[in-house]
Each structure stands twice: as C-alpha cells, then as structure tokens.
Amino acid sequence: MSFEHPNSEGKGIREVERAIMSRPSEHDTTNLDLDRMNLILDLMGHPEHSFRVVHITGTNGKGSTARMAEAIVRTYGLRTGLYTSPHLERINERIAIDGQELSDEDFVDVYQQIEDFIAMVDERFAKEGRARMSFFEVLTAMAVWAFADAPVDVAVVEVGMGGLWDATNVLDADAAIIGPIDMDHMQWLGDTVEQIATEKAGIIKRGSTVIVGPQPHEEAVMPIIEAAARKHGAAQTLRDGQELEVVSRMPAVGGQVATLRTPNGEYDEVPIDKFGSHQAHNALAALAAAETVIPVNGTLNQDLVDEALSRVRIPGRIEQIRTSPTIIIDGGHNLNAAQSLRAAIEENYHFEQLVGVVAMMADKQVEDYLGILEPILNQIVVTENSWRDRVMPAEDLEKIARRVFGPDRVIRRDSLPDAIQEAVDMVDADDETGLGYGRGVLICGSFVTAGDARTLLKEHHDPDLAKPKSERA
C-alpha cells in the first residue's frame, strides 16, 4: 500500500508527516506560552473566528466526548470540524471534517498552504533565541486553517495536554468541557491535583458555558474550576450530578442505554454505542455542549440525538476488534482510565480467562495501573510498543508486573506481535470448545500500544492473528 500522493511540489504524506513529527514535542518546548500560536493566527488572518468552538480538556474521556459532541452537531445538519490527539495509526486521524478524516492529498495540501506561515514564525522566534513551532502547534494551526477553509459551523477540539498553555487554547470556547481531573503528566502539569486543575481550567473564556464532568477529587477541584469561571466571566457552569445528571443507565448489546438530563429537559433511554458508566457521563457532557452550540431553544430532537450517539465509533477506547477469542484494545494509560476499563469489563463481559498484553510509557504510574487491573487478569504478557524514546523496557515492566501479579502469572515477550501471539496461544490452549467463548485478550497501557495493535490485527503484518482459532495455522 502506498501513501505517496505527489502534488505540485512533489511532497507526499510520509514526507509531510516526517517534517511535522521531527519538530519539538510540546513536552520539549521550554517557552510555556501561546506566542507562536498567536503569531501564526495573526499571519493567517485569524481564521479561528469563523466558527463556534467546543473545547474539551480533562485527564480522561476527551476523545470520546469530542466524537460524541461532533456526531450530535453533525447529525443536526451543521458542518463540523474535529481535532483530536493522539492518532492511533495515521496522522490524518487528528483532523476530520464532517466526520471524515482528511485524505492524504488534502492533509498535504493544508500543510503546504500554511508552510510559509510556519517558516515565518520559526524565523522570527529563532532571531529571539526562542523555540520554533512544535509539532502539535503545527497540527493545531493546520486544523484551524482546514476548518475555516471548509468552512465548518462548529469545531470540536480536544486539548493536547493540560489547557492553559496548550496550543489549542488560542481558541475561545463557546462550550468548555472539563472532564474528570486526576494525576497524569505530572512532570509538565504539576504534582498535585490542584495544580493540574488550574492548568485545565485555563480553557474557560468569557461567555463560555462550562460543562464539568464527574470529579474523583471534587473537593479539591471544583473550587478551582468555579473560581476560574467567575474570574473569566463564563456564561454558566453546568456540573455533572447537579445541573446535569445521568438519571439511569443499563447495559445493552454493544453498549448501553441511558436517560440523560440537562437544564433544558430529559432525554429518555438514549442508546450509546460504548461500554462503561464513564461513557454515559461523556455522552451527557457532549449533549450539554451540543445544546450550547446548536441554535435551538430547549431540548434537541431526541431522534437525532439517538441516531448520533448510537453510531459513534471511538477507536482504541475499550474497543473490541476480534472474536474467537475476544480481543479488546484500550489506550488509557492512567489510574482513572484503568478504573474505567476494569469497571466496564466487569459489567459487560464474563470471562473465564482474560490475558493482558501490556506496554506502557516509562513516565506513568505503572505499578498502580497494573494493580487496578490485576483482579480481572488471569495472566499478563509484558512487552514494548513502537515509541522507543518513552516506552518502558519490557524487562523493567516485567519486574514491576512480578511484584503485582506474582512471577507465575507474568510472561515477557519483547516485541508486541510476539506478545499478542503468546496471549492468543494461551487462551487457545485452554479453550476446549475451540469457539473462544469466555476467553479474551486485553491489549492496553498506552495509545501507542493500542495503535500498534490495531495495525497488527487489521493488516498484513500477521494475518494469522486475525483469523478464528479454527482457521489459524
């Protein structure tokens, strides 16, 4: 399969991706400010003023909430832009218009349209001895340009990390969603939940409707969010459990059904195409945001809401991609994500045997993450993903896993394909029926791990893994 789409300047998607991803990461940029983003928007003529914005932060649930909000708005007949991160398999995934990610040709074209602006920003900052644009700033500028060029009516934008100094915070949110806040990215956002909450509350702007998801550290976090809303002149604050409520929910085939209440009214038995109570709360936040940016008084049309939320697909979030045996992929990498993953599996699956395949970044709370999942895993295969600069070496992960699971339940395979094959072989060996019932493999620990696994299981890398047991060699 070729990804090369030559254009007038002879560049293809791979060349453009290399040019973008070779830039400093947002973690490496020492200038914690929005100066580069503000300058490039000045040069581009402030295209961000041409559309309404749903801006989403929080430790977990950003991508799911973003996709749900975008689906509701689009189903209502408005043109949408969606900007999410990270990507699982293709860089194009980050920017979508009307539910379709940019094609390779369009992605290259957008980059080339703003390439001169990027060079001008880099040159000016180099003269001042300051950092050039990071890869995330470039991608954010591309998204803004693409959305204005489309043009879209509403852009749904996921924060990359934090909020206050995130490149996306040059946008003024009509709806500012703050999902659950917990400990993550501490080396950049702060080592207390209060510091992290302060960073995330930075997306609140004058006139924003602030939508706050359920908070695991409510007493510490809510005063900070409410103070920021007052300081910046937010229009209103809607809190999950007070102005907003998941009235009821029950599991259903392929997901769940939930009754959701906003200040405008109640939506009865909304079908949500994802597992887990956390996804019902994500749907509630998305619904409140959609009510903010869709020009309708009162509740939205329930048939359209049902249609939107019943069709949302969220790659890499408790995503079942195979049967016989069941293979689930999840990209969550922090403690709150691990808790949601465990709860969803306990509620919706009844495994006799579940084998974990885990590769994690070295900067995460690895032992605590594994400790949350330990009760639902019979065995664990530790491995590494493709991000060599940050991934925890398999031998280090093995030492931690042995402390959590005991040595008899831990196997190490240094490559992800070998680890997945090992896990599949383990559940196959104990499957007397050959049908895979009650047996599963959970691949988790990082969005990079999830993306690598999706590619391995979808494409030609190891086609044997994609077959049912009865057809595998």
- Whether a cis peptide bond, with omega within 30° of 0, leads into 151 is yes
In this predicted structure, what is the pLDDT of residue 241?
96
**Segment 187-223, tens digit of pLDDT:** 556 578 899 999 999 999 999 999 999 999 999 999 9
In this predicted structure, what is the pLDDT of residue 313?
87
**What is the pLDDT averaged over residues 279-288?**
97
In terms of phi and psi (left: phi > 0; alpha: psi -120 to 50; beta: otherwise), the region of 46 is left
Which two structure tokens, joined as six digits, stand for 390? 């940050």
Share of the chain above pLDDT 70, in %: 91
Give me the chain's average pLDDT, please.
Answer: 90
The pLDDT of residue 304 is above 60:
yes
**Segment 393-439, tens digit of pLDDT:** 999 999 999 999 999 999 999 999 999 999 999 998 877 666 667 89
10 Å CB burial of residue 433 (0-12, 13-18, 19+) is: exposed
Share of the chain above pLDDT 90, in %: 78
Which two structure tokens, joined as six digits, stand for 457? 């299981």
Beta bridge partners of 175: 54, 209
**Alpha-carbon distances, residue 152 vs 24, 149, 205, 291 (angstroms):** 29, 8, 21, 17
**What is the pLDDT averaged over residues 230-243?**
97
The pLDDT of residue 1 is above 50:
no
CB 114 within 8 A of CB 44: yes
In this predicted structure, what is the pLDDT of residue 10?
54
pLDDT classification of 319: cutoffs 50, 70, 90: very high
pTM of the model: 0.89
Spatial distance between the Cα atoms of 275 and 426, rounded to a whole number of angstroms: 26
In this predicted structure, what is the pLDDT of residue 28?
59
The pLDDT of residue 473 is above 50:
no
pLDDT classification of 460: cutoffs 50, 70, 90: very low
Spatial distance between the Cα atoms of 111 and 94, rounded to a whole number of angstroms: 13
CB 212 within 8 A of CB 242: no
**Segment 381-404, tens digit of pLDDT:** 999 999 888 899 999 999 999 999
Spatial distance between the Cα atoms of 392 and 78, rounded to a whole number of angstroms: 43
Sheet holding 245-252, edge to edge: 245-252, 255-262, 265-272
Beta strands 410-412 and 154-158, pairing class:
unpaired
In this predicted structure, what is the pLDDT of residue 5?
35
In this predicted structure, what is the pLDDT of residue 403?
97
**Alpha-carbon distances, residue 390 vs 1, 27, 363, 384, 454 (angstroms):** 29, 12, 8, 10, 20
Q: What angle do CA 234, 238, 242 make, to 5 degrees?
A: 145
The alpha helices in 271-360, defined as continuous H runs, are 277-293, 302-309, 335-348
pLDDT classification of 184: cutoffs 50, 70, 90: low
pLDDT classification of 469: cutoffs 50, 70, 90: very low
In this predicted structure, what is the pLDDT of residue 8?
36
The pLDDT of residue 186 is above 70:
no
Beta strands 255-262 and 245-252, pairing class:
antiparallel
pLDDT classification of 322: cutoffs 50, 70, 90: confident
In this predicted structure, what is the pLDDT of residue 188?
58
Q: Which helix (H) or strand (E) holds 80?
A: strand 80-83
First-to-last C-alpha distance (Å) of the chain: 25
Which two structure tokens, joined as six digits, stand for 448? 């990079």
Long-range contacts of 423-432 (CB under 8 A, 24+ apart): 423/355, 423/356, 423/357, 423/379, 423/381, 424/325, 424/327, 424/465, 426/355, 426/379, 426/381, 427/325, 427/353, 427/355, 428/325, 428/469, 428/472, 430/353, 431/325, 431/469
In this predicted structure, what is the pLDDT of residue 472?
41
- Whether a cis peptide bond, with omega within 30° of 0, leads into 463 is no
Which two structure tokens, joined as six digits, stand for 398? 């093995």
Full set of structural domains in the chain with CATH: 13-309 (3.40.1190.10), 319-471 (3.90.190.20)
In this predicted structure, what is the pLDDT of residue 35?
95
In this predicted structure, what is the pLDDT of residue 4?
36
In this predicted structure, what is the pLDDT of residue 189?
64
The pLDDT of residue 9 is above 60:
no
**Segment 330-378, tens digit of pLDDT:** 998 889 889 999 999 999 998 999 999 999 999 888 999 999 999 999 9
In this predicted structure, what is the pLDDT of residue 2?
29
The amino acid present at 453, given as its one-letter code, is A
In this predicted structure, what is the pLDDT of residue 435?
61
